[in-house]
Structure 1
Amino acid sequence: MQFNIHPINLLRALSMALELSTGGLSRHHWRTAMISGRIAEYIGLDEAQQQTIIYAALLHDIGAASSWEEKKKLHIFNTNNQEIFHHAEAGYELLKDSPQLGLLAEPIRHHHDYWDGSNPTRLFGKTIPIASRIINLADRLEVLLRDNVPIFEQRPDILSAIRKLSGIYFDPDLVKALHEFARQESFWLDLVNPHYYNNFFKSISSYGIMKFTVDDVINIAEIFATIIDRTSSFTASHSRSVSIMAAYLAEAKGYSSEEIKAMRIAGLLHDLGKLAVPNEILEKPGKLNEWEFAMVKQHTYYTYRILEQIDGFDIIAEWAAYHHETLDGSGYPFRINEKSLRLGSRIVAVADVFVALTENRPYRATLPLGRVEQIMQGMVSNRKLDGNIVADLFGNCQEAYGLMQASISDEVRKVSGA
């Protein structure tokens, strides 16, 4: 299986996951990428450099995606915040070994380095990668934008704040370039025009199509599974476990080796939309109130809307995002019933329930397998889960559970460096 993907569609979709908040999409990464691209083009960088800068800008805060507290700090213009370097290093660690996204690791690592060198990395001036210097300036400009104030009223104050930090926080040459092209009213109007984003992404789609094998996509999905599972101390291996179980059940249903790999991707990314749910809700020890449960229920909607943007992901998006739909049509968020619910989505649903019940959660301890089977058979009786898939699971439960536990042990060893 091979995916002919426009890289910008992939990066745009993954970037969208980083934009999720209780209020919907913030578009911080998208606007930062737009500003970065404008700076890079204006100073005459070649297309390959522009491409790297825009792609890195789209993922520049990837290291903060799991923590709502960290994300809040990033949207405050505070140059004395030493904690701002933590997520840059975390982003570097996430990407540095990726064959597909590794070239973005260094620009992201240094995107908050100060021009004068007063930062933990001790890089300064032109020893800081040009991509990082551009993203730093673009990122801080974006943070200064206020949605409730007319843009031309903001412009003088924004440029003044940037100018005061020239030669301290920012590259003076880049500040000069910004002031030159920022005389264009269209630059500011594009930033606050929500309909311009599609034009921006269309304009850079000329970078072309890259061929991604299914294994390439699995590697990228693994990175995002790590981010997703860090949102709660109780889900340290949840996405990988669902991936393993879903692949096991797909094999039992006779799926081809390539389809099984696609199922692994669906399992790894099934909870991508949980980045829209505050950590305190995911870790709440008691019963969720109505508003909190509504927040949780939106995660599968965002999973679908993010994944559907990626070329060739039509089926994967359904398998991943429909895991809370039920045979009786009472699931969420699309209320799909048995007639329209594909086998792949039913498989992910069974895998997700099994893994959740065998994990520690803030509101209960791990359940024994006998009790897990009892609960899941009850869900079959109530037409929540597919009985044939549940039968496949518990027909070989010890083998399936062993595979999942082995996967968790491997991940623990990898993280600990053992």
Structure 2
Amino acid sequence: MHTISKIHPISFIKGMSTALELTNKGISKHHLETAIISYSIAQQLQLSQTSLQTLLYAALLHDIGAASNWEEKHLIMHNDHQDSIFNHAESGYRILKDCRHLNVLSIPIRYHHDRIAGGNPSGLRGQDIPLLSRIIHIADRIDVLIDANDHIFNQRNKILDYISDSNIFDIDLIKVVKHLAKTESFWLDIVNSSYQNEFLSDLDFLGKLMFNNDELIEIAEVFSKIVDETSPYTASHSKNVAVVSSSLAKIYGYNDEEIKMFYLAGLLHDLGKLAVPNEILTIPGKLTEKEFDLIKQHPYYSFRILKQIEGFTTIATWVSQHHELLDASGYPFGLKNDKISLGARIITVADIFCALSEDRPYRNGLSVEQILQTMTMMALENKIDSKLVNYICLNADMILNLITKKVIPPFLKKQC
């Protein structure tokens, strides 16, 4: 197995930014386009390398506070003059402020909707609002105003009229944007998919530090919490799956670095659920076929997001297959038997064990005896790996103790 040694920060942040773009219709480009606009402004202002890096990372993650709330997502795209638009900015700040490797982004994100004339919940106005926040604000609003169904050139004047309001935006940034807007390339770069891919590739120059496995785990835990907030019934699900997956990997004989990969995979296995509306995840009864179809897309999107991260091919494969079943009745690829990797089988049984132990809108969490009975039957029906189910049965009390008492496995304590 190829283990992860070092990952470039932008590679991981690009992947997580894509996760924030998930909708029930696919992947949008709002964060990426906001970053492109922010970059053009920053170039005109000749920001330092450090400020530029912080700006672009913050732009790529600026709506992180709304990722798990579909109602909030709608508000920030359609309701920018109401005080409710500040909610997700504050949430984004709270999510990132205690993460050692991303806390520098928390301040620009916290104030990225503050209006230059004041009247903001923060109490800030004018130049007291951080410059990077002011840049993201005007870039964000430019992108929101773009209608994908109309040619960008037909929209220039309307957008410029809107961002000319000096009560909302920094007058100096308005001047910068109006200068940039004189060139066709400024507008075309925002919407050109070819340039968007090139832009992301060029960002590799940002940052000299590389993330190791332990640092990736810390950041992944931030995103796992966001995913789990999509439903009140999954408050610790991703962390639980990470703990159980890595515990099983330890029992199976994987080495320390491989075990960390299982922990990472567990944390990120449901990343694609950000594409599923909250109300579907909390339905108390049986889902309709259309509703279940939306659920079934989540491992596919988890796969596509994680696969684009340098060095994550193995993890992406495990995650993509964690709803595949040995009899080919799973999804999204319909794989069978040995076509399903061992890593995926481990995450599958960990996911099932955790899901059965947790409350759901249609039932309470099951007892250990009920969980083992259910999983044993699934193994007999050739749906999940019987050897792994046997490991679960032999270690059920220990595993349940880890997740119910929030105990970090001894072999991960130094890392997490």
Question: Same fold by TM (over 0.5)?
Answer: yes
Map of 2:412 onto structure 1: none
Asked if the contact 1:325–1:333 (Cα under 8 Å) also holds between the matched residues in 2, the reply is yes
- The answer (yes or no) to whether the contact 2:34–2:140 under 8 Å persists in 1 is yes
Residue 14 of structure 2 corresponds to: 12
Q: Say which SS state the counterpart of residue 405 (structure 2) adopts.
A: helix
Residue 93 in structure 1 maps to residue 94 in structure 2: yes
Q: How many angstroms apart in 2 are the aligned matches of 1:132 and 1:383?
A: 54
**Structure 1 CA distance, aligned partners of 2:243 and 2:311?**
22
Shift of residue 320, structure 1, vs aligned partner: 2.2
Deviations 1:163-192 (A, max 9, x none): 1x22x1110000000000111111111222
Aligned to 1:132: 133
Q: What letter matches 2:65 in structure 1?
A: G
CA drift of 1:135 comes to 0.2
- In the alignment, which residue of structure 2 is the partner of 1:232? 231
The 5 Å alignment of 1:3-82 reads 3-79=5-81, 81-82=82-83
SS at match of 1:3: coil
* 1:107 equivalent in structure 2: 108
| C-alpha distance in 1 between matches for 2:197 and 2:7 | 17
Identity of aligned residues (%): 48
- The 5 A counterparts of 1:13-412 are 13-79=15-81, 81-163=82-164, 165-166=165-166, 168-207=167-206, 210-407=209-406
8 Å Cα contact 1:77-1:143 kept in structure 2: no
Which deviates more from structure 2 when the two are superposed, residues 190-199 or residues 388-397? 190-199
Q: Distance in 2 between matches of 1:160 and 1:169?
A: 12
Distance, in Å, in 2 between the alignment partners of 1:278 and 1:307 is: 21
In 2, Cα distance between equivalents of 1:11 and 1:43: 24
User: For 2:6, what is the secondary structure of its paired residue?
Assistant: strand
Q: Which secondary structure state, in structure 2, belongs to the residue aligned with residue 75 of structure 1?
A: helix
Q: Measure how far apart 1:30 and its partner are.
A: 0.5
Instruction: Output the amino acid matched with 2:18.
Output: M
Letter in 2 for 1:76: H
Look up the equivalent residue of 1:26 and give its one-letter code: S
Structure-2 separation of matches of 1:378 and 1:256: 30
Q: Distance in 1 between matches of 2:336 and 2:43?
A: 50
Contact 2:285 2:362 in 1 (8 A): yes
Deviation at 1:5, TM superposition (A): 2.1
Higher mean alpha-carbon deviation, 338-347 vs 289-298, is at: 338-347
**How far 1:336 sits from its partner (Å)?**
2.1
SS at match of 1:344: helix
C-alpha distance in 2 between matches for 1:207 and 1:190: 20
Alpha-carbon shift at residue 210 of structure 1 (Å)? 3.1
Q: CA deviation at 1:408?
A: 7.6
Is this contact kept in 2: 1:304–1:318, CA < 8 A? yes
Taking the aligned partners of 1:33 and 1:191, their CA distance within structure 2 comes to: 9
SS of 2:78 mapped into structure 1: coil
Answer whether contact 1:267 1:348 (CA < 8 A) is retained: yes
* Partner in structure 1 of residue 414 of structure 2: none
Give the Å deviation of 1:161. 0.8
Decide which moves more: 276-285 or 85-94: 85-94
TM-score (norm 2): 0.95
C-alpha contact (below 8 Å) 1:28/1:142 kept by paired residues = yes
Return the alpha-carbon distance in structure 1 between the equivalents of residues 394 and 135 of structure 2: 57
Q: Work out whether residues 77 and 144 of structure 1, in 8 Å CA contact, stay in contact via their aligned partners in 2.
A: no
The answer as to whether partners of 1:5 and 1:210 remain within 8 angstroms in 2 is no
Q: Higher mean Cα deviation, 222-231 or 108-117?
A: 108-117
Structure 1 residue 46, shift from structure 2 partner = 2.0
Gaps of 5+ in 1: 411-418
Cα drift, residue 409 of structure 1? 11
Q: In structure 1, what residue type is equivalent to 2:314?
A: I
How many residues are matched?
Answer: 407
2:258 counterpart letter in structure 1: E
